Chain A
């Protein structure tokens, strides 16, 4: 893996108070900027927040929002909430795993796409739901999920 460009890290740190309470918020912004938490950033983040590198690491691995490996350019999250579960989210996930040859939590070798599950995005009334980069798509059917993820249009009824 090539070393990431850490010049933007300083701008992120400037936005946050130099205190322990900022740690999670700093990591959120780093994750957003780099699509993962580069190991190289831990010392600086730790120094800024006044905690050890071990603490940064423990926080980074505790919360689901963070990833220690780069995420794909496109993030596909199949909602695994209860409503989605009883309305067939499992079938959507099976179909995506099969079509993309990807296990949930993994990124494609070309770095284009990451497949994940998420514990409820709160669009339960529209279950099952798939989030593609922050955009929610409701009432997704197994037959259309692959097209949807590849950026195609769903059936005309959904537009």
Chain B
């Protein structure tokens, strides 16, 4: 790509690219987002490419295949979208490539069997816009993901990329940019919810010779993948947001910190930065202006604590990622002790859209205290798992049952976990809660970065609390005692409960210990570490008591406290459990009730998973 030396050159290029795009008859988009990749979508992309060549509908005659980032509806993946027409094919196999190319690309027919079947109306949806999962969303930060090739800067420019940057650089003063972001009410989407504009302003006011901007792509919360999807799906919107932010605060050097567990995000962000630099969108005199700024990619080393701002900065410096006390603000003394603005991926990705569309538009969405939208990764025991973006203020019920399609057949809702290891579990009576930063915190959980894990009646809340505590023991950096030793003791107490070795005294000890950890820990990791335990203890105390007093895990998860039995009346004698049992503990003749031999049973729950009539139960 040529070096762009003025905003006019950028617009000229955009017009040129748009013209070329108009000449394209059809485009086949193959989703290569995190979910679809795990479902083998790369093979589908190859097969489609091969078929297009074979059936002579390739680039030379105006057809195009494009591999994109996450389209969102992971549960239905691998996804293939044909444009124009928003034609949406789901659960595609490589062997479907020939048919898709022949009938939908070469011809104008739909492949009926690959269209999404709406379980509500029992109708096939021709376009993805008709699917409730999509129809109920509002996409801002994720708007372009799934519609462009993340490895091609031209694609981003043709879709409006870097127009906001040109607008900011040539029509606004840095202070006006800050003012705009401030008035929009944009809050940090990494979990803290701090006002972005205020953060930027504090950085500008802080004394220092150099200023830095950082993008936090360390998404360490288990169960969250919005940032991965954004970095892999539309790296240029993140880069553009960072350049605008840098211009606003007067920074000339920025870092994108990406966790090493996301190798593709590292690769695409690096590629995006290199391409942008070649095009004059990064480096000296961006778009011919006086402003210079460049970005480096910094790979993390696999430490959850590095998602904490001060630990992340130490890690960028090449040091061990230990946080420091919060009274030193990183906007004043951050990276190499210089004033630093750190925002997460989604926040940066939202900035260009605000610059483009303005404050009123942004504030027309969401709630008064939390304007705009928020991306969530919806996962766990919900039908429609995937990546979604909704206006702040929608209810949990709308997200889980509207967009998410509810739970699987015969399963009932138990809790939704938000906020990762710093958050909590919310039960059914909190489902009508409006999702925004303040409401979730008030309810005893938190927004966090946006992971939302739905749990059904087969999830044990004590086990979930134990799971997060074990995670935090493993991830505590070890710098301060309350977190390092406290979480370890918390885990020991919880393990006692899940093993049936606890007394009621344990709950009081947990509460006392939790209070100390929250009060005395150095950073947010420790301060929020007891949240998963406290929130489950508050909402599901009976379940804890059942473990302690009755030595029974009602959900059938804690192995020492679970014994499975087959209900004679429900069992149809289909024999599926017998085949699934890895230790031959199940006996029974076909069409007659089966039984479990307790001495052989290892409580693996394989029988319960396969039973089509829920005859395998937890013994009382």
Question: Interface of A with B (CB < 8 Å)?
Answer: 19-25, 27-28, 49, 51, 58-59, 62-66, 80-88, 91, 94-95, 118-127, 129, 134, 136-139, 142-143, 158-159
Interface string of B251-283 (1 = CB under 8 A from A): 000000000111100000000000000000000
* B50-74, CB < 8 A from A: 74
Q: A119-B220, A126-B74, A134-B263 are in contact. Are A64 and B609 (CB under 8 A)?
A: no
Q: Are B225 and A25 in contact (CB under 8 A)?
A: no
- Which of A82, A126, A129, A143 gathers most chain B CB within 10 Å? A82
A–B Cβ pairs within 8 angstroms, 18 of them: A28-B260, A28-B299, A63-B302, A64-B301, A83-B379, A88-B609, A94-B604, A119-B222, A123-B225, A124-B451, A125-B74, A125-B377, A125-B385, A125-B387, A126-B77, A127-B385, A142-B582, A159-B40
Q: Tell whether B147 is near chain A: CB-to-CB under 8 Å.
A: no
Interface size of B by CB at 8 A reads: 65
Q: Are B38 and A136 in contact (CB under 8 A)?
A: yes
Q: Are A20 and B467 in contact (CB under 8 A)?
A: no
B471 CB contacts on chain A under 8 angstroms: 80, 119
Question: Interface of B with A (CB < 8 Å)?
Answer: 34-35, 37-40, 74-75, 77, 93-94, 219-225, 228-229, 260-263, 298-304, 315-321, 377-381, 385-387, 417, 420, 451, 453, 455, 459, 464, 467-468, 471, 474-475, 477, 580, 582, 604-606, 609
A83, B223: Cα distance in complex, Å: 5
Q: Are B380 and A86 in contact (CB under 8 A)?
A: yes
B379 CB contacts on chain A under 8 angstroms: 82-83, 124-125, 127
Which of A22, A82, A138 contacts B451, CB < 8 Å?
A82
Q: Are A86 and B451 in contact (CB under 8 A)?
A: no
A124 CB contacts on chain B under 8 angstroms: 222-225, 377, 379, 385, 451, 453
Number of residue pairs spanning A and B whose beta carbons lie under 8 angstroms apart: 172
Q: Are A123 and B222 in contact (CB under 8 A)?
A: no
Q: Are A24 and B318 in contact (CB under 8 A)?
A: yes
Residue of B nearest to A85 (CB): B467
Which of B301, B459, B609 contacts A86, CB < 8 Å?
B459
Q: Are A159 and B93 in contact (CB under 8 A)?
A: yes
A134, B262: Cα distance in complex, Å: 10
B378 CB contacts on chain A under 8 angstroms: 125
A21, B459: Cα distance in complex, Å: 43
Q: Are B317 and A21 in contact (CB under 8 A)?
A: yes
Q: A62-B321, A94-B604, A119-B471 are in contact. Are A125 and B299 (CB under 8 A)?
A: no
A118, B263: Cα distance in complex, Å: 14
Which of A66, A81, A88, A126 contacts B223, CB < 8 Å?
A81
Which of A65, A120, A123 contacts B221, CB < 8 Å?
A120
Q: A88-B609, A120-B221 are in contact. Are A82 and B386 (CB under 8 A)?
A: no
A80 CB contacts on chain B under 8 angstroms: 222, 471
Q: Are A82 and B38 in contact (CB under 8 A)?
A: no
- Which of A19, A59, A118 gathers most chain B CB within 10 Å? A59
Q: Are B318 and A91 in contact (CB under 8 A)?
A: no
Q: Are B225 and A64 in contact (CB under 8 A)?
A: no
11 additional A-B residue pairs with CB within 8 Å, beyond A25-B298, A59-B301? A22-B318, A24-B300, A82-B222, A82-B467, A91-B604, A119-B304, A119-B474, A121-B262, A124-B224, A125-B386, A159-B40
Shortest CB-to-CB span from A136 to chain B, Å, is: 4
A143, B475: Cα distance in complex, Å: 31
Which of A136, A142, A143 contacts B37, CB < 8 Å?
A136
Q: Are B299 and A120 in contact (CB under 8 A)?
A: no
Q: Are B299 and A25 in contact (CB under 8 A)?
A: yes
B219 CB contacts on chain A under 8 angstroms: 122
Q: A86-B455, A87-B380, A122-B261 are in contact. Are A28 and B34 (CB under 8 A)?
A: no
A80, B472: Cα distance in complex, Å: 13
